[in-house]
Amino acid sequence: MPQSSLEMTNTTVALDQTDQLMHTAEFGLLKLVLGSIQALLVLVCVPLFIHKQQQPMVKCRSWKLTILGCISMTVVMYIDAWLSMDGWVSYGMQSRLYFFKHIGSFLLWYGLGYPDDHSHTIAQFYTRTILAFTSSFVTFAGFMTNEKKMIDISIIISTLLLFWTVLVDLVVPLRLMIFSKHHRVVDIQHRSIESQQEHGVSGPTLLEDHIIHQHQDCLIESSHHRESSASTLNPTMDLVANSQLSIAHILNSMTLYDAFGLYLSREFSLENLLFLKTVELYKLRVSTNPAHVSFTLLTQPIHNEFVCPNSINQVNLPKSIVSRIECKLRALKDEEALEAIRKTNAVNPMAIQMKSEIIELASSIFDEAAEHIEHMLIHHLRRFKSSEFFPK
């Protein structure tokens, strides 16, 4: 047999073997199912992202790149499924397909940055990054082995990882836009009253009443707020106009607080302002009427709503601060239990001294966290002052 014919035969055999290696109907069915789910998500999310392109979960870095990455990955999933089905598509497009697949994977990673003051966007960014790069690495490692079994495994893992990358990219902002935290009024008052009744603790609920009132005020429509603020003269505005705007100004002014709350709700950071206001009212409660309250019953709801992982209004705190808060909460609980044992009457000197120590501990328990959150909100102030929400 001539050498040229032998070389042509060897080439044909190699291509046939490669084609047989890469065409597996089982993978094609899996990819068709995943591609259909992605297509449904894209059809739902893309119009919503375009409409809500000013939301931070959409606009950060580039929402256009995000949409392009999701659409390209959905198209690639379908084409990949067709290539994996025997006889559906020729093998000639295989190399181009994998090139565009990993370009799409890169777009998904690069397409969305994150503001450093929101825990959900940080988690989304790192999750997508890990999934996208792991998918590329698994595919590369599988093909480098030149073993069919390892290549099959790498294809399955890579396909699932890319599917989850698209899912995280679309579902997380969709969930926050539909079930946004700032559209939920946290019923702290009911839980606090029930807890106090169970433990036989009575007294005013100034903290809870103010939190709910402030939270509901922040949910007023922005157009209504701007109309009312335009027709109302507020002396605080003159002070702010002639001085540097600060968090303290905002917390002390109902008008500024409402307006800043509306602005932060658009930025998905309203929980930060709510936390600061809650801590301020909590410290006021501790300082004005410390004799007839259980500090554990006051601090625990704040921890559950703002500090506890995956809570509805979780603020972005370093683990070190969270650990110190939890340590202080345990110490506060132990101190109160010990005080109840030692206190025999109202004039017991030891009981009075312990009460003073407990008040000091309770008053400072959230100070470090509040300072951290206030520092994070500073970069919002300039944008807020130039935004449509700032009272004129």
Same domain, 161 and 193: no
Q: Assess if residue 61 is contained within a domain.
A: yes
Alpha carbon 79 to chain centroid distance? 33
**Interatomic CA distance for residues 372 and 322, integer angstroms:** 11
Q: Assess if residue 332 is contained within a domain.
A: yes
User: Which of 139, 161, 179 is at the close of a domain?
Assistant: 179
**Interatomic CA distance for residues 269 and 267, integer angstroms:** 5
Residue (of 73, 65, 137, 144) closest to 107 by Cα position: 65
Same domain, 240 and 147: no
Residue 340 maps to which CATH number?
A: 1.10.167.10
Task: Encode burial over 264-275: b for 16+ CB neighbours within 10 A, e otherwise.
Answer: bbbbbbbbbbbb
Task: Encode burial over 174-207: b for 16+ CB neighbours within 10 A, e otherwise.
Answer: bebbeeebbeeebebbebbeebbeeeebeeebeb
pLDDT of residue 270: 83
Residue (of 301, 314, 294, 312) closest to 362 by Cα position: 294
Count structural domains, the chain.
2
pLDDT of residue 192: 40
pLDDT of residue 72: 76
Full-model pTM: 0.50
Terminal Cα distance for the chain, rounded: 91
**Token duo for residue 303:** 């921890």
Query: DSSP of 123-171, one letter per residue?
Result: HHHHHHHHHHHHHHHHHHHHHHHT-HHHHHHHHHHHHHHHHHHHHHHHH
One digit per residue, pLDDT tens: the chain, 392 residues?
A: 555 554 555 555 555 555 554 444 557 788 888 888 888 888 887 787 777 665 555 555 456 667 777 777 787 778 777 767 766 656 566 566 666 666 665 665 555 444 444 555 667 777 877 887 888 788 788 878 878 788 778 878 888 888 888 888 777 777 766 655 443 333 333 344 344 444 444 443 444 444 444 444 433 333 343 344 433 334 444 444 444 678 888 888 888 888 888 888 777 788 889 999 999 988 888 887 666 667 778 888 898 889 888 777 888 888 899 999 988 888 877 766 655 555 544 545 544 455 566 777 788 889 999 999 998 888 888 888 888 888 87
pLDDT of residue 34: 85
**Domain range enclosing 68:** 3-179
pLDDT of residue 187: 38
